[in-house]
Structure 1
Amino acid sequence: MNRGEQIRRLRRTKDLTQVELAMLVGVSVTAVCEWERGAYSPCPRNAERLSYVLESDDLLTSLLEGHKKTRRLRTGRRGLTPLCLDLPTRGIMSGTCRSI
């Protein structure tokens, strides 16, 4: 089971919609949808929030290990800085992905 499937399974076990999970974690619905599809992984801050809401230490360990492996660098004004794959939190109802 990949990380996205793990997030979806835990969310459904808690009987939460993607909208509800997004509100509890403090991200957009699009971010939750992208995590469940496996397109992105949450940054460490959101991974901690997600594992807390879903009550899963195993999820946190898995997400943080994955983040270390896929960590990318970008050039900014101050040189190389970590790029967090966190999506903006504006407009919780934005996006086209819907929970089933």
Structure 2
Amino acid sequence: MNIGPESTEFDMNIGTENTDFDVNIGPESNEFGMNIGLESTGFGTNIGPQGTEFDMNIGPESTEFDMNIGPESTEYDIQIGPESTEYDMNIAQDKAMSLT
């Protein structure tokens, strides 16, 4: 499913390793991804003109939650898991504020 003039796409793969679900909504690179699997499970949404993204990985190893709100590199990270659990939040155009 492609919605947009250039690279909007919709992908869905169902498997144990590289299962993913992608939707791109916008003129260039806005995307929505969802990976369901044991290792690389992820959920991503990009909303914005360049790199704004929202990622959520649900799994035992690399579970993470990313949200970028801003024109370039503003990001919001949450990792929930036994090994690399972390919480990061950057709200600025150039990462002026960081909560870790």
Same fold (TM over 0.5): no
- Kindly indicate which of the two structures has a greater share of residues assigned to strand: 2
**Which of the pair has more CA radius of gyration?**
2
Give me the TM-score of the superposition, normalised by structure 1: 0.23
Select the structure that is richer in helix.
Answer: 1
- Of the two structures, which has the highest relative contact order with CA contacts closer than 8 Å and spacing of 6 or more? 1
